[in-house]
Homo-oligomer: A and B are copies of this chain.
C-alpha cells in the first residue's frame, strides 16, 4: 500500500496538521497506519487515549494521539482532532493519483464534443455531441457521456458511469462506478383508458462542485428544470434520488436511501442507510434522519427522527421501549376488565 514515496520528519508532519511533537522531531516517518497493521517507519493513529497502550506495543515508530497528560513509550504528535489529522495524513502519504492526460485510441468521441487536452479519456469511453470536458477530468473506461453533458475541472468519473443528455457535473466531483445520472424519471398519468401514459422528462440534473456520488446510485432528471445536488454533498452507494429533488449543500446521504420526487432537503442534513421519503416533502436544514426511517411528512430544521413512520427520535425510543411490555399489557387489561365485570373483549 506504499503508493506514494513520501518520507518526512515528525516535525514536518506536525506542522502540516498543527500538532505538538513530544520528542525526536527529526525522526523520519514513511507512512501512517493503525496499531495492528503498523510497521517500522509508520506513525500510528490512536483515536482515544485508552487505546494508546496497543499503539505503544505496535511495530510503528511514533504515535498520532489526542491531547493527553502522561507518559508515552514512543515519540508522539498530539492534536485536538486526531481523526481529521489522520484523514489529512492519509491523503498526504497515499495521494490518489490521477492518470496522465491521454485520449485512448478506443475512445469514441463525437466530432462536436469539446475535450480538454489536459484530461484523461480512458479506453472504451463514449462522448456524445456537444459535450464539454474541462481540464484535468478523468473519464475511466466505459464512461458514457451523453449529448451536451458538461463536466467541470478535476472531476473523476469511475468506470461504467452513465451521464445522460445535458447533465452538468461541477468541479472536483467524484462519481463512483455504475452510477446513473440523468436517467428519465418515473412519471405517468392515467390515460382515457386508465393505462399509464408517460410524462416526458425533459429537464436535467446538476451536481454542484465537490459532490460525490456512490456506486450504482441513480439520480433522475427533472420533468422540467433541474434535479440539483448541492455543493459538497456526499451520497453513498445504491441511493435513489427521483426527479426534481433539490438536495442542499453539505448533506451526507448513506447507502440505499430512497428519495421520492420533488423532495427538498436543507443543507447539512444527515440521512442514515435505507431511509425513505415520500414525494414533495420539505426537510429542513441540519436534520438527522436515522437509518431505516420512513419520512411521510415535512421536517423542521434540526429535527432528529427515526422509525417507520418517522417520529421524533425520543418519542420513537419511548414507544419502542413500551412495545416490549405490550403483550403483558394485553393480559393485564383483560384481567382488570374481567374483575370489574366489564364484558370480555371480543
Contact = CB atoms under 8 A, between A and B. Distances in A.
A202 B330 contact: no
A238 B218 contact: yes
Contact of A308 (B186, B236, B308): B308
Contact of A124 (B124, B188, B197, B258): B124
Nearest to A273: B258
Nearest to A83: B189
Contacts of A254: 186, 260
Interface in A298-329: 307-309, 315, 318-329
Interface string A252-274: 10111010100000001000011
Contacts of A203: 1
A319 B319 CA distance: 12
Copies in the complex: 3
A53 interface: no
A319 to B, nearest CB: 5
A292 interface: yes
B332 A345 contact: yes
Nearest to A190: B84
A235 to B, nearest CB: 9
Q: For the complex, would chain A's binding face be called helix, strand, loop or mixed by DSSP majority? A: loop
A141 interface: yes
Given A232-B196, A258-B255, A180 B177 contact: yes
A220 B215 CA distance: 9
Interface string A207-248: 000001011101010001100000010101110101000000
29 contacts: A84-B189, A87-B197, A106-B108, A142-B142, A142-B144, A158-B183, A160-B162, A160-B180, A162-B178, A176-B180, A178-B180, A178-B218, A183-B215, A183-B237, A186-B214, A198-B212, A216-B216, A256-B256, A256-B258, A258-B273, A276-B291, A292-B294, A319-B323, A319-B324, A319-B326, A321-B327, A332-B333, A333-B333, A336-B337
